[in-house]
Amino acid sequence: MTAVGIHDLAIATAHHVVGLADLAARRDVDPGKYLVGLGQESMSFPAEDEDVVTMGAAAARTLLHRTGADGVRWLLFATESGVDQSKSAAVYAHRLLGLPPSVRAVELKQACYGGTAALQTALGIVHRDPAERVLVIAADVARYALHSPGEPTQGAGAAAMLVSADPALLEVEPVSGVATADVDDFWRPNDASTAVVDGRLSVSAYLAALKSAWDDHRARGGATASEIDRFVYHQPFTRMAEKAHAALARHVGLPDGERLGSGLEYNRRLGNTYTASLYAALAALLDGDDALAGRRIGLFSYGSGSVGEFFTGVVRPGYDAVRPRDEVTRALAARVPLSVDEYERLHAARPTGSADAVTRRVTDGPYRFAGVRSRARRYENTA
Ligand code: CAA
């Protein structure tokens, strides 16, 4: 069977950053709760002229500059913070990226699982015709109410992946395990700009989905725990990945108390990026370890509501030569810090609706949201 998987991967984030030590001081919370208890250092925060389209297109632009768009027939855009109920974020990104009309564009949604739904769909498309390649974008802005328990787990960012035959980074193996259950742990009604969440239930639903998806993966003949060299998890906050790994270790009888030491670095600083989070974790793992060629990675994706999936991939030889290592670190360092007052002001400004408005220019990214004209969103290429 042709090897199919992730040929290249790029991460983008928002213009601003909020330090969690600053937020803890303002909320009168011991900083250890955010920095150690949740395992988060900072959270990216979008400027008023940024959204999932601008971040997603920025990640895809980096990737397409390296790989070109030859053979791309699909743009799959996963998000749970979409900008329109009908028109997909993919179509806006398609124009910004200068893709030809012969590339299909569509948006997918199932909370944070959407990125993996797009990846699995892309793998199927390439298996059908290995000459085709699929551009997958996963982008989100995680917004919770001010002063809520979820507030320190906000974040913003995007991952873009090129899925192809004979991939340079990760061959995704065909067996995977799935766990779908109707749970009210986290959702965002149409009239709300912040998520509604039952925090405790969301953590237990995540862990239940992990065990159930693992059991399904094993029942279908997937790799055993001892055949998997590294694990990466969806990271609503990085401590959640450590809790997940400990729970899986107990479930499958791996050595007790094992800690997860890799794949956490980017998400600690990005915050929750929902659909992109697992792929930011994968990027951190691949960037941070030179000895992964031929190693099997287990990936767990969780989207509240809920769908979980456990799947595996084998790192390709030469993967370490494919990606510029300091790309994400540079983007994280370039973010412009917000004071807590500035952050609260930006947070309180409701996301632009459908009334005509002009958006102030703030971002120095390659694309910006310019505002609404004749009730339609306008985006500009600024690069
Ligand atoms: N020093 C060190 N650690 C401290 C501390 C201190 N001073 N004070 C508290 N802690 C620890 C606590 O012991 C706890 O750790 P353990 O769970 O390991 O015991 C940790 O800090 C967090 O403390 P709490 O559990 O008291 O925190 P909380 O109840 O205020 O908030 C939360 C936690 C409910 C998860 C909240 O952040 C939240 O609602 N987040 C949004 C929902 C979410 O992220 N859910 C995750 C699963 S759902 C999912 O994955 C989908 C998705 O992306 C949303």
How far from 83 is each of 51, 79, 95, 126, CA to CA, in Å? Answer: 8, 9, 16, 28
Give the three-class secondary structure for 45: strand
pTM above threshold 0.95: yes
Atom of ligand 1 nearest to the CA of 148: 39
Determine which helix (DSSP H) or strand (DSSP E) holds 107, and give its type and residue range. Answer: strand 104-108
Separation CA 356–CA 278 (nearest Å):
36
What pLDDT, on a 0 to 100 scale, did the predictor assign at position 257? 59
- Residue 256's pLDDT is what? 59
Pick the residue whose CA is nearest to atom 32 on ligand 1: 199
Cα-based angle 336, 340, 343 (whole degrees, multiple of 5): 65
The rounded Å distance from CA 37 to ligand 1 centre is 7
User: Which alpha helices (DSSP H) does 170-225 contain, by range?
Assistant: 199-219
Closest-CA residue, ligand 1 atom 15, reads 37
Cα–Cα distance list, 59 to 148, 219, 251, 325, 352 (Å):
30, 36, 36, 15, 23
Residue 306, ligand 1, Cβ within 6 A: no
Ligand 1 pocket, 33 CB below 6 A? yes
pLDDT in tens, 228-259: 999 999 999 999 999 999 999 999 988 755 67
Residue ID of nearest Cα to ligand 1 atom 44 = 236
- pLDDT one-digit tens code per residue, 178-203: 999 999 999 999 999 999 999 999 99
Q: Is 153 in the pocket of ligand 1 (CB under 6 A)?
A: yes
Cα–Cα distance between 50 and 356 in angstroms, integer? 17
Angstrom CA distances, 51 to 45, 89, 290, stand at 10, 10, 34
For residue 84, give the amino acid letter: D
Q: What is the pLDDT of residue 261?
A: 73
Q: State the distance from the centre of ligand 1 to the C-alpha of 34, rounded, in angstroms.
A: 8
Residues designated as active site: 80, 112, 234
Nearest residue by C-alpha to atom 29 in ligand 1? 149
Please choose from 20, 27, 33 the residue to mutate so as to test ligand 1's pocket, defined by most ligand atoms within 8 A of CB.
Answer: 33
Tell me the chain's radius of gyration from C-alpha atoms. Answer: 19
Edge-to-edge strands, sheet with 72-78: 104-108, 72-78, 133-142, 155-165, 4-13, 170-180, 307-315, 296-303, 230-233
In which region does residue 221 sit, left (phi positive, over 0), alpha (psi from -120 to 50) or beta (all else)? left
Amino acid present at 136: V
Burial grade of 287 (CB within 10 A; 0-12, 13-18, 19 or more): buried
Q: Mind giving me the DSSP string for 235-298?
A: -SSHHHHHHHHHHHHHHHTPPTTPPP-SS-HHHHHHB--GGGHHHHHHHHHHHH-S--TT-EEE
Q: Is 149 in the pocket of ligand 1 (CB under 6 A)?
A: yes
Mutate to test the pocket of ligand 1, among 201, 202, 207 (most ligand atoms within 8 A of CB): 202
Residue with the smallest CA separation from ligand 1 atom 42 is 199
Q: How many CA atoms lie within 13 A of 119 on its CB side?
A: 33
Q: Which residues of the chain have pLDDT under 70?
A: 256-258
